[in-house]
Amino acid sequence: MKIYPFEEFMYETLGGRPNQADWTPYLGKSYECACGTTHTFDESTEVLRELSGMRFVIQCPQDSFLTLIKITIFRTLNPCSEESMSAIQFT
């Protein structure tokens, strides 16, 4: 997991649109968060942005982190590949 400064993270995740995806198939899946723990995706999970390539910016439910995740064709939640994987802590 690579942690980016806030400005760089926002630049990396520029564009996209407010989340419009149907998350029902992903409820109960877990993902690795920037805060260092693994969270389970549920109804209360806050998806902030929807980006191209099935990438999404997710708000950490416990801390002020943002994590960029990518949904694979197998419908698991994975951190994005090293070059685009991003996370940030608000200050």
Decide: is 58 part of the binding site for Zn ion (CB under 5 A). Answer: no
Give the residue with the Cβ less far from Zn ion, 60 or 68.
60
* Position 60 contacts Zn ion (CB under 5 A): yes
Q: How many Å is the Cα radius of gyration of the chain?
A: 12
For residue 67, give both structure tokens.
């994590």
Which range, of 3-11, 15-23, 26-34, 45-53, touches Zn ion by CB under 5 A? 26-34
Residue numbers of the site for Zn ion (CB under 5 A)? 33, 35, 60
